[in-house]
Chains A and B, each alone.
Chain A
Amino acid sequence: MLLAYVLLLEWTRALAATIPGAVVPALLLGGAGLVLAAWGWPAERLGLGTSRLGLRLVGGIALAAVLLLPAAARVSAVPILPGALAIAAVVVSIGEEVAFRGALFAALEDIGGAPVAVSGSTLAWTAAHALSHPAEFLPAVAAAGLLLAMWRLVFRDLVGPIVAHAIADTAL
């Protein structure tokens, strides 16, 4: 049920974003809807505890550096995200992390443990981007999902992935 909700929301958002002028509303509403996927889950089960918060934030910045490294190393004219999209990109980043690496990860872990949580959340994340991303981008999307899921598993932390995802989205 959770998986279906998240996927339908992401696909709807991707389709809505193709309408001229609807990109920002689609991102904002989609991001908010994704956050709702975590309704009823304790913050700690989502990886949102406040212990070691400083380390989590530093870790998030480091994780963002990894996400941005390929782009930073090759680009000579930095693509600039239009200002109106920046806030929306942050909102959808939070929503996606809470939904995929938060609620969905926790639910899958309850079902089949860590392997199911990592592989399942990565597959769902990749499938969710199938409509919004050209096929050439999907391996990179999947690899990013795997990296974020491994962080979530190893450190039991979602703050780092949220920070990294938000930085990566706004930087690109």
Chain B
Amino acid sequence: MLAAIAYIIAAWSVAPGFYDGFSPPQPYNFVCPPPQAGANSQPSSGHLNIKIINGSSDPNSGFTDDGQLVIGFLPGAFDVTGKSSVNVTITPVTPCPNPNGLRFVTNTYLITADAPLVKKSNLVMRYSNVSQDPSYIYRAKSLDGPWTRLDVQQQAQLWTTSTQTDQLGYFAAGFPSSAISTASSSNQEILPIIIAVLIVAVLLAGIPLAVLRRRPARAGGRRDAEEDEDE
């Protein structure tokens, strides 16, 4: 019982709890954490300086320090006329935008550069395992919108979504609000049932304990051997 209590306390400190069998992601750092996120750290920003070699920008990748957003630039991705280098900045946006008709499951990031982007770049965004999977990555030039839907590419890694973009600006992953109403309400209906079933199951744990406790311990020999005799 003490071990069970110790486990529940330990597992409560990390969302969503015990994970095994496959690698869980690092906890997502939210600007605006949802209630189920548990302990939260603020997300990081990122900065990249791209060199200009032979009149062309070098290939390079910019990322936030916590790895929640990565953007890869091809050789010559920027118009570097009159430039000796290109600076790219990635910043999580505060406060969290809440556009009509959309539900974002990631932070919104502002990606800026001091030179125009002229080639498509690959954008990878990580999302939280406690949120619903995003359907799209959205892009906007202003927080007021409009938000352009970018089709996502096939998922290469768990809990990441990626797309290609030919413009910089504001980026967030999410889905149309209409797509979640059914799912979230059904989850809310199911949740009390799940918890009730779990409580009953926990109580059932006492049955085998009580049955086995009633069996008098036999003197001598290993308990494994006793089991063999039972069989």
Residues of the B chain whose Cβ atoms lie less than 8 Å from the Cβ of A79: 16, 129-130
Residues of the B chain whose Cβ atoms lie less than 8 Å from the Cβ of A62: 201-202, 204-205, 208
Residues of the B chain whose Cβ atoms lie less than 8 Å from the Cβ of A59: 205, 208
- The stretch among B56-64, B72-80, B92-100, B222-230 that forms the contact with chain A is B222-230
Asked if A76 and B188 sit within 8 Å, CB to CB, the answer is: yes
Q: Which residue of A lies closest to B34 (CB)?
A: A76
A50 to B230, CA, bound (A): 10
Least distance between A76 CB and chain B CB atoms (Å): 5
The verdict on B131 contacting chain A, using a C-beta distance below 8 Å, is yes
Least distance between B112 CB and chain A CB atoms (Å): 29
Asked if A17 and B23 sit within 8 Å, CB to CB, the answer is: yes
**A68-B17, A137-B24 known; A61-B201 Cβ under 8 A:** yes
Residues of the B chain whose Cβ atoms lie less than 8 Å from the Cβ of A81: 22
**A132-B23, A144-B18 known; A73-B7 Cβ under 8 A:** no
- The stretch among B83-91, B136-144, B191-199 that forms the contact with chain A is B191-199
**A49-B228, A55-B207, A77-B187 known; A144-B20 Cβ under 8 A:** yes
Least distance between A93 CB and chain B CB atoms (Å): 6
**Contact check: which of A20, A44, A134, A140 meets B10 at CB < 8 Å?**
A140
**A77-B187, A143-B6 known; A71-B22 Cβ under 8 A:** no
A156 to B212, CA, bound (A): 11
The verdict on B211 contacting chain A, using a C-beta distance below 8 Å, is yes
Least distance between A155 CB and chain B CB atoms (Å): 6
Total chain B interface residues with beta-carbon distance under 8 A: 61
Asked if B224 and A168 sit within 8 Å, CB to CB, the answer is: no
A70 to B6, CA, bound (A): 12
The verdict on B219 contacting chain A, using a C-beta distance below 8 Å, is no
Asked if B18 and A67 sit within 8 Å, CB to CB, the answer is: yes
Residues of the B chain whose Cβ atoms lie less than 8 Å from the Cβ of A44: 224, 227-228, 231
A62 to B202, CA, bound (A): 5
Asked if B207 and A58 sit within 8 Å, CB to CB, the answer is: yes
**Contact check: which of A71, A75, A136, A142 meets B27 at CB < 8 Å?**
A136
Residues of the A chain whose Cβ atoms lie less than 8 Å from the Cβ of B198: 65, 68-69, 72
Residues of the B chain whose Cβ atoms lie less than 8 Å from the Cβ of A45: 224
Q: Which residue of A lies closest to B12 (CB)?
A: A70
A104 to B86, CA, bound (A): 56
A27 to B198, CA, bound (A): 28
Least distance between A57 CB and chain B CB atoms (Å): 10
Asked if B7 and A140 sit within 8 Å, CB to CB, the answer is: yes
Asked if A137 and B188 sit within 8 Å, CB to CB, the answer is: no
Interface string of A33-67 (1 = CB under 8 A from B): 00000000000110101111001101101111111
**Contact check: which of A18, A49, A58, A64 meets B227 at CB < 8 Å?**
A49
Given contacts A69-B17, A70-B11, 19 further A-B contacts (CB under 8 A): A17-B23, A49-B227, A62-B205, A65-B202, A67-B7, A70-B17, A72-B191, A74-B17, A76-B187, A76-B191, A77-B187, A82-B158, A88-B22, A96-B21, A136-B27, A139-B10, A140-B17, A144-B7, A169-B20
A-B contact pairs, 11 of them (CB 8 A): A52-B211, A62-B202, A70-B8, A74-B35, A134-B25, A134-B27, A140-B10, A143-B3, A144-B7, A155-B212, A168-B20
